[in-house]
Homo-oligomer: A and B are copies of this chain.
Amino acid sequence: MTKSQAEQIKPITDNNANVLYQHGTLALLVPGLLEGTTTIGELLKHGDTGIGTGEGLDGELIILDGEAYKVGQSGVAERVPDDFTMPFANVHHAAFQYQCERSDIGLKALNNRIVEANGRANTFFSVIVRGTFSFIKTRAVIKQQAPYPTLVEVADRQAMFLRHDVRGTLLGYFSPVMFHGAAVAGFHEHFLSDDRTFGGHVLYAVLDHGKIHSQVFDTLMQHLPVDDPGYRNHDFSKDPIAEAITTAEGDTH
């Protein structure tokens, strides 16, 4: 990351910087409730930074500086329009605080140190890592058509990508264990290369060198698709929510 990029990280300036907005829940994806129930345009009212997935698990989304990108089964990143719909997304107003600089560290070790350093295992927070990654492995689910499969069935229908020596941004959210189901407990991280050509849901990475910023939230604003018939009529009590989310979205692969 150049010095000018670091300076672009905004300070905390408004009351919304401590709020994480979430549309839908990961529990919705477990039985295959994959209809798009919000749009990028709507989401951007609640923040300029975030991650999500499109209708039918159409791509791994990342929003940086108010611009939304999607990585589909080709592994290539592309801009998505404001009317692009999603069943699940997180977004917030970026106001990251500088945390540290790190070299030659694997993603899992990095994540563990971030939690240890700020003692925030029971708190929602966001982490952004800007730098050069000596290795990164991402995945993107292949877009599904209705009637939609379950999240566990989709686990076989994804493409994986490996890259070496790529500069870019890794954006993640950490959710406390008591919210497993609404979110995935632990980290959920997406990536976008600086040249805006490559990205995806991060499975593994080694940071060559880069800077880590984080942002702690005291409030989760959980928005539900209360008027969506599929959501309203579904019986979640029979779904293996915790197990399926851990299998499909957990941060150890």
Contacts and interface: CB of A to CB of B under 8 A. Distances in A.
Interface in A190-234: 216-224, 226-227, 231-234
Contacts of A43: none
Contacts of A220: 220-222, 224
A223 B237 CA distance: 25
When all copies of this chain in the complex are counted, the total is 2
A177 B239 CA distance: 11
A226 B218 contact: yes
A182 B224 CA distance: 15
Interface stretch (A70-78, A96-104, A116-124, A159-167): A116-124
A119 B182 CA distance: 20
A85 interface: no
A224 B231 contact: no
A220 B181 CA distance: 15
15 contacts: A119-B232, A120-B232, A122-B224, A122-B232, A124-B224, A176-B224, A178-B182, A179-B181, A181-B181, A182-B182, A216-B226, A217-B226, A218-B226, A219-B221, A219-B222
CB-CB nearest 9 A-B residue pairs: A220-B222, A27-B178, A218-B226, A123-B226, A219-B223, A178-B181, A177-B237, A178-B236, A221-B221
